[in-house]
Structure 1
């Protein structure tokens, strides 16, 4: 019982620590991107069921190299699609994520990383790649 409580606490702590860096609203991200002259990185993930999504989060998004790079160059948007009942998103957020998927992830790939310009036009797409953070950052921009 204590182990499951500890794991749940760590999961929540991880969500809280990354919540300040990620938005869940593309319209807000576009405003910030235009103001700060940054690109937008839209990430489709299945945070509680998609093993490559979880690896991408742990190996890339949580890395200091990515955090440092993103702070200077990217506005981060996460469209999550959890499956477990206790992780379900509020209905309004799920509708927003579904609309994003209809526009940018029509094939339902997970994870899918979409690089957008300030007008939310697609510059590049990629999925999980087993790369160090610095190489993954480069791959975000390669076509």
Structure 2
């Protein structure tokens, strides 16, 4: 009976954790992410990462982005992952888009997280109003979210 109960409890915990991670939507197409942000009146979080080689990026993902606190917090922003993998294949259009944004935001190291407010101009072009940036912050989700909140709560 104890074994069955333990198995049941572990199963529920594992499925709850899997379910919570499925709720996060990380966009890779910035144009669609910007359109969503404008439509829903949300700010955008641009996460520049080297997902398959950058130790600090992986650490940030595990300590912050894969937590219930981040999941709850992220409901108020549109998440965009701009990945620069070394071993994982990537579509050429995504590579070009990511390199262009890396250049625009002058990203020199990873992880780098920029917060912006997209604004569609009358001529159809997109303007990105920068709120600020951060990277890995020691102290887990609560410390990282403290820094992120300071940035996203700025007014333009």
Specify the TM-score bucket, using the shorter chain as the normaliser: 0.7 to 0.9
Equivalent residue, structure 1, for 2:80: 77
TM-score, L = length of structure 2: 0.73
How far off is 1:88 after superposition? 2.4
Tell me which of 127, 144, 148 is aligned to 1:136: 144
Equivalent residue, structure 2, for 1:102: 103
Max Rg structure: 2
Q: Give runs of ≥4 in structure 1 deviating > 3 Å.
A: 17-20
In structure 2, what is the Cα distance between the partners aligned to 1:34 and 1:140? 20
Question: 1:19–1:46: structure 2 CA closer, same or farther, 3 Å change rule?
Answer: farther
Number of residue pairs the alignment of both structures matches: 124
Gaps spanning 5+ residues in structure 1: where? 1-13
Give deviations 1:35-56, integer Å, cap 9, x for gaps: 1111100000001111000001
Give deviations 1:64-102, integer Å, cap 9, x for gaps: 11011102x100000000112xx0211111111111111
RMSD of equivalent CA atoms: 1.9
In structure 2, what is the Cα distance between the partners aligned to 1:65 and 1:107? 27
How far off is 1:19 after superposition? 8.9
How far off is 1:114 after superposition? 0.3
In structure 2, what is the Cα distance between the partners aligned to 1:75 and 1:134? 19
Give deviations 1:82-133, integer Å, cap 9, x for gaps: 112xx021111111111111111x2421000001113321101111111221
Gaps spanning 5+ residues in structure 2: where? 1-17, 120-127, 152-156
